[in-house]
Amino acid sequence: MPLRYPRLQLVFSDTPSAPAAPAAAAGPVAVIEAPTRRLASVGVVVDIDQRTATVDGRELDLTFLEFELLAHLMAQPKRVMSRSQLMEAVWGRPNMGDTRTVSTHVARIRRKLGPAHRGTISTVRQIGYKFDPALGPR
C-alpha cells in the first residue's frame, strides 16, 4: 500500500476492523484484520511480526542483524544514533572500540534497499547514522 505521508507509520491493532462505509472509504483508511506491528516509510516496509522487509513491494533478503538494524533506525526517523548506541541496541553489547561492524551492516542494507532508497539511511559524519524519509525517492 503506498503511503500518503512521508513520516513513519507504526500500526497496531488488537481487534479486526469492520468494513468501512463507502463514504469513508475515500480517505486514507487501511483495514487491518489481525494484530500487526509494522514500520513503513517512503516505500520501505518492515513487518516486525512476520520478520519481513520490503521495498516498493519487493522483499529484501536481510540477515537477522540487518533486519534488526533497519527496524531500529526506522523506528526513530531523523534521530541521529551513534555507532555505539546502535551496537548496544542491536547487538546487545557496548561498543568495544570497533565500529566497522555497524558500518559494514549499514552498507549491506543500503545495497539491498537499492539506488532509489539507499539514501534514506544517511551517515552523520563522526557520529553515526539516521533514517531520513526525506532523503528517499521523490
**Tens digits of residue pLDDT in 85-108:** 999 999 888 776 677 899 999 999
What residue type is 33 in one-letter code? E
What residue type is 20 in one-letter code? A
**Packing angle between helix 64-75 and helix 100-113, nearest 10 degrees?**
80
Higher pLDDT, 4 or 50: 50
Q: What are phi and psi of 20, to 5 degrees?
A: -75, 150
C-alpha distance across the termini of the chain, in Å = 17
Q: What percent of the chain has pLDDT over 70?
A: 72
Highest mean pLDDT among 24-33, 85-94, 110-119, 129-138: 110-119
CB-based contact 65:91 (threshold 8 Å): yes
In order of their start, the domains of the chain are 9-135 (1.10.10.10)
Q: What are phi and psi of 47, to 5 degrees?
A: -100, 110
Q: What is the mean pLDDT of residues 35-58?
A: 88
